[in-house]
Amino acid sequence: MGGKRWLSKGILVFSYLWLGWPNSSYARDTIKPGEAVRFSEQLVSANGLFRLGFFSVRNVNYRYFGLLYMEDTFSRKVIIWVANRGKPVIGTTADVTMDTNGMLQIIHQDGDPIPLNSKDQAAKNSSATLTDSGNFVLTEWNLDGSAKRVLWQTFDYSTDTLLPGMKLGENFQTGKKWSLSSWISDRVPAPGAFTLEWNYTENGRGQLTSRIVYWTSGLLNVADQSFENIVWLRDDYYRDIYNFTVVSSETESYFTHSVPNGNMTILVLNSDQSNGTLIDSDKRVFGPSGLCNGIDPNPGCEAERAPECRSSNEKFESRAGQFVGGRYLSDGNMSLGFSDCWAQCWNNCSCAGYNASYPNGTGCQQLGVSFGAPRQTSNKIFPVLRV
């Protein structure tokens, strides 16, 4: 089965491929010790909105085990959680097994098993269920059949997507932090440049931070449900959609949200092409409108180091064409995304333009030469510095 990764109205369309499809009469939402989710199977939440299984992105040979949201009304299909972000598996014989001690692992042909939970988060009498809220929860059970404790859950190991009920923040006793990190690019789920963290220093302040870009939402005013730097949220209409809550105690501090009208909201910390903005299912942006580049006057962009050679009216634009001859630097580091590359170029006074090294958006080429119009044989797109 083929499909597309969308946010509503198609702002982000990432194609992915399910590697199996559940026979609906056997669809289940739970696995128990001794059982497995086979390569060609999926777990399906009771309401049918969430599915867990193996998929690939853009038909590449790499397989990921993860959770997808399926919205029939708009045919929205969103990858909301990935177990093996930086460790894709190859081949068609991978399984996720739950051993008799309750350990969940991706078993694959060419490497060590990839654990989902740790030994401390496993118990013999346990089961893992994909819930209707999009959480895959491993629970330990008492003799009388009641729940003893939650051992592990995907809500505690979020990737780039925030669903109602998920937390951003920190547990001071365990040291556990809840944060989001973007994909490197729309084809590479490994953690990229942007992270979203909850900074609780002043009665709770949420801010977007990254290796290179720095943005803050400004203080959350819980009483009127607004952030200083997110102007559109002040509209009364959004109070019916988002209910933001801050929980702060000696043991933990976190930000979470619920959706009073019961509709699902999906907040995705976008990968590089969208500059690490947090975007909801209706394309509303919780973040700066462009890249905070150190001299950006956008609300929430922190004034950061801008090299003396750069001025405030400089920006990069995507242009069709090519660079001819001249100096050139290629960094094949596949952990670098587009915004990392922008930063390298921005901070290098002899850099005139940049591009990814590979078609999947990783690596960085810096170019220090003038720009030529596209030739008939070449209409390659280069994001290029305008002076």
Ligand X SMILES: *[C@@H]1O[C@H](CO)[C@@H](O)[C@H](O)[C@H]1NC(C)=O
Q: Using CB under 6 A, list all residues that contact ligand X.
A: 60, 62, 125, 141, 143, 145, 188, 199, 201-202, 205, 209, 240-241, 243, 245, 258, 260-261, 263, 274-275, 290-291, 293, 315-316, 327-329, 333-336, 340, 344, 348, 350-351, 355-356, 358-362, 366-368, 380-381
CB 164, min distance to ligand X, A: 10
CB 228, min distance to ligand X, A: 11
Cα separation of 135 and 44, whole Å? 11
Nearer to ligand X, 84 or 153 (CB): 84
Cα separation of 195 and 270, whole Å? 10
Nearer to ligand X, 248 or 258 (CB): 258
CB 53, min distance to ligand X, A: 19
Nearer to ligand X, 251 or 327 (CB): 327
Place of tokens 């905070």: 292
Residue 143: partners with Cβ closer than 8 Å, 6 or more residues away: none
Nearer to ligand X, 120 or 144 (CB): 144
CB 301, min distance to ligand X, A: 10
Cα separation of 151 and 148, whole Å? 9
Nearer to ligand X, 121 or 217 (CB): 217
Nearer to ligand X, 154 or 195 (CB): 195
Q: Are 284 and 230 in contact (CB under 8 A)?
A: no
CB 358, min distance to ligand X, A: 4
Token digits of residue 204: 């709770």
Residue 39's SS3 state is: coil
Of the candidates 363, 344, 349, 355, which has an alpha carbon nearest to the alpha carbon of residue 384?
Answer: 355
CB 138, min distance to ligand X, A: 13
Of the candidates 360, 382, 320, 383, which has an alpha carbon nearest to the alpha carbon of residue 14?
Answer: 360
Strand segments, DSSP code E, in 95-146 are 95-98, 104-107, 114-115, 126-130, 136-141
DSSP state of 84: T
Token digits of residue 237: 């209409």
Q: Are 272 and 337 in contact (CB under 8 A)?
A: yes
Cα separation of 285 and 265, whole Å? 13
Nearer to ligand X, 97 or 245 (CB): 245
Cα separation of 85 and 271, whole Å? 13
CB 102, min distance to ligand X, A: 11
Cβ-proximal residue to ligand X, closest one: 368
